[in-house]
Amino acid sequence: MKSKLLGISMLTITCLYGMLAGVIILIVKLLGGEILFAITAGIIILFIQFLISPWLTDLSMRFFYKAKFDVELPEYLKAFLFDECKKYNMKNPRVGVIDDGGPNAFTYGRTKNDARIVITRGLYDLLTEDEVKAVVAHELGHVVHYDMLFMTAVQVVPLVLYAIYEVFARNNKSDKDSSKAAMIGWIAYILYIISQYILLWLSRTREYYADEFSVKTTKNPNSLASALVKVGFGLSLQGDNKKSTSKLGALGIFDSKTSKSLVVSTNNNQDDKSSILNAMKWEMWNPWAFFYQLQSTHPLISKRLIAISKYSKEFGQEPYIEFNLQKPESYVDDFLFEVFIKFLPTIIFIAGIALVIVSPTHTMTIIGGCGILFTLSLMALFNRTHRKGYQKSTVRDLLGEVKVSGVTSISCELEGEIIGKGNPGCIFSEDFIIKDETGIIFLDYNQPLWIINKIFALFKSEKYFNKIIKVKGWYRRSPVPYIEIYQYEVDGKVKKVFTYALAKVFYYILLALFIFILVTGIGVIWYSYFLCYNTFKKGRSYMDFAELKQKAKESLKGKWGTTLGVFILYGLATNLVSIIFSPKPGADPNTTLQFSTNIVSIVLTALFVLGYTTYFLKLSRNEEVEVNILWSKVNQFGRAFLATFLIGLVVGLGLILFIVPGIIFALMFSMTMKIMADDPEISAVDAMKKSAEMMKGHKGEYFTLCLSFIGWLILGIFTLFILYFWLMPYMETTMCNYYNKIKG
């Protein structure tokens, strides 16, 4: 067994390092060898991490999981470890115990002589002595097979490949080297994905060999099988979508993503084979099970049970389980529909981006229409994962459901005892494990804010231990069977998790927002055609907004660095004082400080507004631009201040008078600063008059141009305003193009 596993491991390592060597040779051939120093440094860092990781994990176990090492073990376990370690000429591993009712077991370390095995109190509570020995023997199998060393060695390859991708996909070299680097980056990324799946396959293979080691060491395959059935739910951790393969996950009795696939009525009837078969159906029949196993460090428990049962006759036992149920239907149609529902929002999002690129003149309409479809698809997915109609259930009943997944839920009510945390012993775990008369299952406690969950985990969660709880929620499997909590009752008090309600409100707000964008976009298109008709009717040329925007993009090309510098400096200069001295919530806004702050903001705006406008006018005319243009007009502060004050006063009064007059005044005087930037001799009042004259017959057109950006402005809010760093310079350049056009 050991020589065969060694051969598989060495072949896998040879394959992976061959892939890495091929990428490195390609780099040297195309770009030279200087990058080798960075790769070498990265490998050295990984090696240092390998050396110190057991010590760091020890600290984590002690501080975050309250694990106690070198505690007195039961005599049967102490004797078993002593005999097996003596047989394999290795030191006794240090054993840590976590005081938590959730069952768990895993190993870590560098070599077999400095290994650690960590188990939880829940393992003793749920398992017989023979079953405990079988689980510990599985962990010893990892140690004897040097799994910790081999898995560390293979993990180097995907980590280095991903680092190469990160470096070369974001290079800033010349055009010739840039194309070569991009090619190398994407080759490295593809090989990174392939290497990840090879790593996961090797991890699953080593799990089968660790099971075989346990069986042949204890000569009791049924004990390991029954332990798998009993403990399966106890190792369900919260991270469903980890991108990397952790050492703890790879070397435990279960994978945190697949371990909870079997829990049956083992608390009262350990030989209930029909319940085991019932629980195996999902893994054996549902297509999602195969999909999830590909991304898991561990095989599905049903597969392991079947593999272990094959050894039973060799040791004089009846096979623990034989899966002989007939599949009533294919389940493929449900799977395909769920895949469609799951990825439909992504498809609509990508389609929306493509349409905006292809037809930028209809950006608002596209964002509104695709946004509505995107939101409706999210709502359809949300409603499927949060179905209505709660039915009283047991763990056994839930596990027997085949038509359930991460996309399709079952609304349920469950009553049982809280026996531990979802991540056993972890002080930051807000989730629970609940036990009813038929089994145990993971409870997902998830309030809208991360900080609320962590406060609950640190200060409140342990108060629920050993208490009876009634839970309403949604049972899902992805592949971990779990219940997302909606409402729970403890000690006669009913409490809710507000994520569901908040999500519903968010989706309705989002839908209303995109409807508004769509209606506005349609209105802009209609008004544009109306303007076009009137323009031709009056014998004037029609203003092409798409042309103005395209010219803005061309003007900004190659000048984004300088432009962003000007935009950021202007934003800081004109807004920083207001932000720093803004009144606290609840304070009186009509204070002397607030008034002074407003005056200072107007003064700072007046200092730089003409320079800022001049910069974008020059940019729109494809003239040379530099950052110092921003402060080149500070000597014209007087007229800039007067214009800023007068426009603000007139527009403000107009807004007070039913809003619409304010909008008209704003459009009327919108070209004032551009006129003053072009003509250093004109006065503020004359510039305002000239702007009003220039905008005659153009106010509606200019308003339509402004509205055409509203979709991007709203979308920018959802990016925490990061999009504005691109959008605001783009808008300003477009407005300058409009000014240039009507000026003639």
**H/E element, 414:** strand 410-421
How many Å apart are CA 374 and CA 393, to the nearest integer?
A: 34
Of residues 743, 732, 621, the one with CA closest to residue 693 = 743
H or E segment to which residue 321 belongs: none
Query: Are 639 and 686 a contacting pair, CB within 8 Å?
Result: no
Cα–Cα separations (whole angstroms), residue 663 to 606, 651, 670, 698, 708: 21, 7, 10, 14, 16
Neighbour-count burial of 115, counting CB atoms closer than 10 A to its CB (0-12 exposed, 13-18 middle, 19+ buried): buried
Tell me how far apart the alpha carbons of residues 739 and 695 are, in angstroms, rounded to a whole number. Answer: 10
Alpha helix positions (H), 65-173 = 75-87, 121-126, 129-144, 147-169
Cβ–Cβ under 8 Å, residues 446 and 256: no
Amino acid letter, residue 640: A
Task: Give yes or no for a contact between 64 and 457, defined as CB atoms under 8 angstroms apart.
Answer: no
Joined tokens for residue 56: 């760091």
Residues pairing with 414 in the sheet: 471
**Helix (H), strand (E) at residue 443:** strand 440-444
The DSSP code sequence of 101-122 is SS--EEEE-SSTTS-EEEEEHH
Angle at 467 between CA 461 and CA 470, to 5 degrees: 95
DSSP 43: H
Whether 143 contacts 109, CB under 8 Å: yes
Distance CA 744, CA 729 (A): 23
Q: Token digits for 207?
A: 């799990």
Neighbours of 34 (CB within 10 A): 9
DSSP 295: T
Q: In what order do the strands lie in the sheet with 94-98?
A: 68-69, 94-98, 116-120, 105-108
The answer to whether the CB of 129 falls within 8 A of the CB of 160 is no
Burial 211-231 (b: 16+ CB within 10 A, else e): bbbbbbbbebbbbbbbbbbbb
Q: Using the 8-state DSSP alphabet, how is residue 583 labeled? A: P
Q: By the 8 A CB rule, do 628 and 565 touch? A: no
314 catalytic per annotation? no
Token output for 276: 């085991």
- Between CA 194 and CA 187 the distance in angstroms is 11
- CA atoms in the 13 A half-sphere facing the CB of 490: 18
- Write the CA distances from 445 to 194, 235, 452, 466, 720, integer angstroms: 34, 16, 11, 17, 27
Q: Which of 139, 207, 338, 701 is catalytic?
A: 139
Active-site amino acid positions: 139
